[in-house]
Structure 1
Amino acid sequence: MSAELQIAAKMIELVRELAGRSAEAEVTVRHDALALTRFANSAIHQNMAEATTGVRLRLHLDGRTASGSSTLTGADGLRSLVERTIAAARVTPPDPSWAGLTRPAALHISAGHPGSGERSGLEFGFDEATARATPGERAERVRAFVDAAEGLETAGYCRTGYVSAAFANTAGQAVEGRTAEAAMDGIARTGGADGVARLATSRLAELDGAVLGARAAVKARAAAEPAELPPGHYEVVLEPTAVADLLQNFAVFGFNGKSWAQKQSFAELGAEQFDPSITIVDDPLGSRGEPAPGLPFDDEGTPARSLVLVREGVTRAVTHDRTSAAETGAESTGHGSSTSRSWGPFASHLRLEAGPVSSPGGGDGSPVIAESARPLVARMRRGLLVTDLWYTRVLDPKTLVVTGLTRNGVWLVEDGEIVRPVSNLRFTQSYPQALSPGRVLGIGAESVLLPDSWSRGRYAAPALHLASWNITGNASG
Structure 2
Amino acid sequence: MSAELDLATRVVAAVRQLPGAEAEVWVLHTAQALTRFANSAIHQNVADASTTVRLRLHLDGRTSTGSTTVTTPDGLRAMVDRTVAAARLTPRDPGWAGLTPPTALPAGPDGITLGCGYDTATAQASPAERAVRVRDFVRAAGGLETAGYCRTTYRSAAFANSAGHAVEGRAAEAAMDGIARLDGADGVARTAGGRIADVDGAALGERAAAKARAGGAPVELPPGRYEVVLEPAAVADVLQQLAYVGFNGKVYTERQSFAEPGAQQFDLSVTITEEPPGELGLPFDAEGTPRGPLTLVEDGVTRGLTHDRRTAAEAGHAPTGHATPGARSFGPIATHLRLAPGPGSPPVDAGPVVDPSAAPLLGRVERGLLVSDFWYTRVLDTKNMSITGLTRNGVWLVEDGEVTAAVGNLRFTQSYTQALGPGQVLGYGTGTSVQPERWAGSWYEAPAVHLRSWNVTGNASG
Structure 1 length normalisation: TM-score?
0.94
Map of 1:453 onto structure 2:
438
Question: What is the match of residue 127 of structure 2?
Answer: 135
Structure 1 residue 209 corresponds to structure 2 residue 194: no
Alignment size in residue pairs? 461
Report the counterpart of residue 372 of structure 1 in structure 2: 357
Alpha-carbon shift at residue 362 of structure 1 (Å):
4.5
Contact 1:26 1:169 in 2 (8 A): yes
CA contact (8 A) 1:378 1:417 kept: yes
1:96 shift after superposition: 1.1
SS in 2 for 1:197: strand
Distance 1:274 1:358 in 2: 15
Give 2:291's match in structure 1, choosing from 301, 304, 327. Answer: 304
Which residue among 404, 407, 416 is the counterpart of 2:392? 407
> Which string of whole-angstrom CA distances, capped at 9 and with x for unpartnered residues, describes residues 170-198 of structure 1?
01110000100010000000100000000
Deviations 1:56-104 (A, max 9, x none): 0000011111111111112221122112211111121111111110011
Corresponding position: 1:474 with 2:459: yes
Give yes or no for the alignment of 1:428 onto 2:413: yes
* Aligned twin of 1:65: 63
The structure 2 residue matched to 1:389, chosen from 361, 374, 386, is 374
Cα distance in structure 1, aligned partners of 2:107 and 2:226 = 43
2:16 aligned counterpart, secondary structure: helix
Distance (Å, rounded) in 1 between the aligned partners of 2:207 and 2:55: 46
Deviations, residues 332-386 of structure 1 (Å, cap 9, x unaligned)? 111111111111111010000146799864532x4x1x22211111111111111
- For 2:325 and 2:346, the matched residues in 1 are separated by 43
1:6 paired residue number: 6
**Which runs of structure 2 are paired with 1:52-451 in the superposition (5 Å)?**
52-110=50-108, 113-115=109-111, 119=113, 122-123=115-116, 125-286=117-278, 291=279, 293-354=280-341, 361-364=349-352, 366=353, 368=354, 370-451=355-436
Q: Distance in 2 between matches of 1:7 and 1:270?
A: 43
Aligned with 2:387: secondary structure? strand
Which AA in structure 1 matches 2:327? S
Determine if contact 1:197/1:212 at 8 Å carries over to the other structure: yes
Residue 115 of structure 2 contacts residue 283 of structure 2 at CA under 8 Å; is this kept in 1?
Answer: no
Q: Cα distance, 1:3 vs. partner?
A: 1.1
Q: Give the superposition deviation at 1:329.
A: 1.2
Q: Equivalents in 1 of 2:348, 2:453: separation in Å?
A: 21
Q: Give the Cα separation in 2 of the matches to 1:273 and 1:89.
A: 43
Deviation of 1:157 (Å): 0.6
**Contact 1:390/1:405 (8 A) holds in 2:** yes
Which stretch shows the higher mean deviation, 238-247 or 78-87?
78-87
Q: Is the 8 A contact 1:423 1:475 kept in 2?
A: yes
Paired position in structure 2 for 1:27: 25
What's the CA shift string for 1:277-336, capped at 9, x where partnerless?
A: 0000011324xxxx3x21110000111111000000000011011111111111111111
CA contact (8 A) 1:275 1:438 kept: yes
Contact in 2 for aligned 1:404/1:426 (Cα 8 Å): yes
Residue 147 (structure 1) shift? 1.0
Q: Quick check: 1:360–1:374 contact (8 Å CA) kept in 2?
A: no
Structure 2 gaps of 5+ residues are none
User: TM-score with structure 2 length normalisation?
Assistant: 0.97
Deviations 1:426-454 (A, max 9, x none): 11100000000000001223110000114
Per the TM alignment, residue 209 of structure 1 is displaced from its structure 2 partner at its CA by 0.7
What do residues 216-270 of structure 1 show as CA deviations (whole Å, max 9, x unaligned)?
0000000011111111110000000110000000000100001011111100000
Say what the alpha-carbon RMSD is for the aligned residues: 1.5
CA displacement 1:370-426 (0-9 Å, x = unmatched): 222111111111111111111111111111111111111111111111111111111
